[in-house]
Amino acid sequence: MDALLTALADPARWRLVSLLAEHPRSVGVLAQLAEARQPQTTKHLQTLERAGVVMSQRSGQRRIYALRSAPLRDLAAALNLLADTANAANTANTANTAEWEVQGGTRATYDRYGLSLRAERMAAEGAGWADGRTFGFERALAGSPEVVWRHLTDSALLAQWWAPEDLRVSELVFEARQGGRVVLEYRDAEDADGSDGVVGRAEGAVDDVRPGERLAYQLSPLLPDGATAFTSHVTLDLRPTPTGTHLDVGYRISDSTIDSADFVAGIEIGFGQSLDKLAATLAATARDAAPQDTNTSRDNDTRSTK
């Protein structure tokens, strides 16, 4: 308890704890939001981690920190006990403590990724360890196959959705022709000025283009030294439905290296989140393009005949 109180007594560290109470964040983003230098922020986070109030895990080129709820619950209980001793009349009001653990949202994603990360690192025993691994995704999308196709191949539209929830696209090249280049670069979504550096970069090429029907490409995430982590082979098949388009995505891994474990651990979560953003984007586009309400149109026609 003494170590926890000492760690929390510093205003700068308390600010970091407050930011992490919202959701897990990287060191660079925490430094930006706290308006502090990154080396000093790192020292404060290390102090908090030694006190047990935060935990961290590496995600690609970033170190992500998250708040631990148990020490705060213990501290809250101790403070409540002091208050109860001073004023027994408040006992009934302090019987229940607040729910500190974040339910769902980015914290749930953080924990889920952590489990996957540990499993993949244990499995990565040699080159080719993940070769042949496949993932499948399906989405029912608003809009015709032609509309969906534009969102899959137009760089400006791609940039709106082709990133997990906590990241943003900082560079994107997608040449929608056979053999065309594909470049995808990410930064942290909260890295407003770009000072936190590039989170990830991938390069590849388009394999197959059948407008409105099928798109296939290869994409290789790059390690910090520029080497390839693995190669993903992605196919996207579009089928018209009465309400829009059914998208069927196939994802296969080849050329995997031992250092690709961190990337492989995030495929199911990250790619799934990206497709969810695509679905939301298309749904919003469909709503904006919906015809004017018929009752309003009828009223306008009635007024125009008077």
Give the pLDDT confidence of 104-115 residue by residue, as tens digits: 457 788 899 999
Same domain for 146 and 240?
A: yes
Same domain for 94 and 154?
A: no
146 within a domain of the structure (yes/no) = yes
Same domain for 133 and 276?
A: yes
Q: What is the CATH number of the domain that holds 23?
A: 1.10.10.10
> Which range marks the domain in which residue 53 is found?
2-102
Which residues make Cβ contacts (< 8 Å) with residue 109, sequence separation at least 6?
A: 165, 166, 269, 273
pTM score above 0.95: no
188 within a domain of the structure (yes/no) = yes
Same domain for 147 and 264?
A: yes
Three-state DSSP class for residue 83: helix
Number of structural domains in the chain: 2
Same domain for 147 and 277?
A: yes
Same domain for 180 and 260?
A: yes
302 within a domain of the structure (yes/no) = no
* CA-closest candidate to residue 123, choices 23, 236, 13, 262: 262
Same domain for 246 and 132?
A: yes
117 within a domain of the structure (yes/no) = no
CA distances from 153 to 130, 149, 170, 174, 216 (A): 28, 6, 17, 7, 11
Same domain for 156 and 52?
A: no
CA distances from 89 to 76, 84, 86 (A): 18, 7, 9
36 within a domain of the structure (yes/no) = yes
Query: Would you write out the chain's pLDDT as a tens digit for each of its 306 residues?
Result: 888 999 999 999 999 999 999 999 999 999 999 999 999 999 999 999 999 999 999 988 899 999 999 999 999 998 888 888 876 533 333 333 333 333 445 778 889 999 999 999 999 999 999 999 999 999 999 999 999 999 999 999 999 999 998 999 999 999 999 999 999 999 999 998 888 989 999 999 999 999 999 999 999 999 999 999 999 999 999 999 999 999 999 999 999 999 999 999 999 999 999 999 999 999 999 998 877 655 555 555 555 555
Q: What is the CATH number of the domain that holds 177?
A: 3.30.530.20
Same domain for 90 and 163?
A: no
Q: What is the pLDDT of residues 25-37, one digit of tens each?
A: 999 999 999 999 9
